[in-house]
Amino acid sequence: MGETQQGRVGTGHRAGGGGPRRVGPPKISASQFSQPTAEKGQLDSLLAEIPAFRPHPLLPGPHWQTVAGMYLPFRAPPYQAHCHFVELDDGDQIAVHEDLPDNGLASRIVLLIHGLGGCYASPYVRRVAARLSAVGIGVARMDQRGCGAGRRVARHMCHAGRSDDVGAVIRFLAARHPQARLMLCGFSLGGNLVLRWLGTASRDALQPVDFALAVAPPIHLADCVASLQRGVNHLYDRFFTRRLWRDYQVRTRVGKYVLARPDDRTSCGPGQLPDPGLEVALRMPKNLYELDQVLTAPLGGFASAEAYYEFASSLPYLAKVSVDTLIIAAEDDPMIPAQIFARAALSPSVRLLMTRYGGHVGYVASCSEPDRSGQGQAGDRRWLDWRIVECALHLDHA
């Protein structure tokens, strides 16, 4: 199918790769996306119900949308989740925060996974969790390794290739709630983790999951990092570099990081503390690529940033996804170049919804939407939040 009000919907084409490089503005024609020929199923009926996104008139551009999406206030309910620590194969632990209905049972649980530099308390995660809870859907918020409440129980740092951590949390939730079906929802880097896990997990591991949603996933990391070095985007690059550098310094002082074994790329095993070359790196890296080169790659057991990007990117695995999956991305996203999706060979189980506008996980709309909780509360303009809620409700009524 060609353009819709939303932008473009389809299954994509060619798989691609390559190292970091500067890329120009997106040039995507409608012919690069095709309508699935399979019989109309759950994904297509869900897509048919999604209203077009129209940006707020005072937030017309991608940067306004990105910043507003993060910082516009939202009155979240107080923290009432139960925090569990999930043991990983290498001895690390990650935190999972459960919000369940009052009776403690849930037929549907949505696993929310934050993006780079975030945690269970990131504003977008808290908002979506609150809205899902309000309509009676169980929620689990996963802290990536070394993030949030799991900061002090992990020796290894999170990175975009740790999709096995997602699998560990899914096994944990499936064992605790055998009656529940799981929906995965990853934001940005968390979306890449979701897609990578879906494309690499075994059939048995996939059993508890019946739907996945990836929002603005950096499916080709090299191109995304290169995009952050272009023009005004360097402000985002600087923001993430500073945040991750501060976290590295804090954790190094308390001896929390260890090097991975060179022969271990999936579940990094115990080793010595960071080598002297890392310990004496007094200067903050200039950008995210340099940080990945001097920190993320060696701490994760990779020879270089390029090797890390190649390993961690989910793009090569999208053709292998067998669970119904929806990817939502914006053509004007300043961090995720739209053309990377044109190179993706998507399986018949995956749909790509490209909106014209929205920035990076922004989606502040021109019109308010009604609250879905049935409690007479006022709605708001958070288009993306309500799409996630509707996906979960649709699954329960399908």
Nearby residues of 222 by Cβ (< 8 Å), 6 or more positions away: 18, 19, 20, 21, 306, 309, 310, 313
pLDDT at 105 over 90: no
59 lies in a domain?
A: yes
* 361 backbone φψ class: left, alpha, beta (φ>0; ψ -120 to 50): left
253 token code pair: 């002082």
106 lies in a domain?
A: yes
174 token code pair: 């499936």
Residue percentage of the chain with pLDDT more than 70: 79
300 lies in a domain?
A: no
330 lies in a domain?
A: yes
Tell me the angle at which helices 189-200 and 163-176 cross, rounded to the nearest 10 degrees.
80
What's the mean pLDDT in 226-249?
A: 92
Burial of 152: CB neighbours in 10 Å, binned 0-12, 13-18, 19+: exposed
pLDDT at 21 over 70: no
Separation CA 233–CA 220 (nearest Å): 17
Separation CA 46–CA 151 (nearest Å): 37
Secondary structure (DSSP) of 249-300 = HHHHHTT---PPPTT-SSSPPP-PSPPHHHHT--SPPSSHHHHIIIIIHHHH
Domain that holds residue 116: 7-231+321-397
- Closest to 18 measured CA to CA, from 385, 245, 342, 313: 313
Separation CA 308–CA 290 (nearest Å): 12
How many domains is the chain built from? 1
pTM of the model: 0.84
CATH of residue 43: 3.40.50.1820
Tell me the angle at which helices 383-397 and 123-134 cross, rounded to the nearest 10 degrees.
40
pLDDT at 4 over 70: no
In what side-by-side order are the strands of the sheet with 93-99?
A: 7-10, 350-355, 325-330, 209-215, 181-187, 108-113, 138-142, 93-99, 82-87
306 lies in a domain?
A: no
206 lies in a domain?
A: yes
301 lies in a domain?
A: no
Q: Burial letters for 94-114: b for 16+ Cβ neighbours within 10 Å, e otherwise?
A: bbbbbbbeeeeebebbbbbbb
> Which alpha helices (H) appear in the chain, and where do they start and end?
42-48, 62-71, 123-134, 163-176, 189-200, 203-206, 221-227, 234-253, 276-279, 288-291, 297-300, 305-312, 339-342, 383-397
Neighbours of 79 (CB within 10 A): 12
Secondary structure (DSSP) of 77-128 = PPP-PEEEEEEPTTS-EEEEEEE--TTS--SEEEEEE--TT--TT-HHHHHH
How confident is the model at residue 253, as a pLDDT? Answer: 60
pLDDT band at 374 (very low <50, low <70, confident <90, very high): low
- Closest to 216 measured CA to CA, from 67, 334, 116, 360: 360
163-199: pLDDT as tens digits: 999 999 999 999 999 999 999 999 999 999 999 999 9
Strand partners, 96: 84, 142
41 lies in a domain?
A: yes
Separation CA 191–CA 213 (nearest Å): 8
281-290: pLDDT as tens digits: 457 899 999 9
Average pLDDT in the chain: 83
Which is it for strands 181-187 and 209-215: parallel, antiparallel or unpaired? parallel
pLDDT at 267 over 50: no
Higher pLDDT, 32 or 302: 302
35-53: pLDDT as tens digits: 343 345 778 888 888 999 9
Q: Running DSSP on this structure, what letter comes out for residue 143?
A: P
pLDDT at 311 over 90: yes
CB 114 within 8 A of CB 144: yes
What's the mean pLDDT in 235-253?
A: 85
| Identity of the residue numbered 243 | R
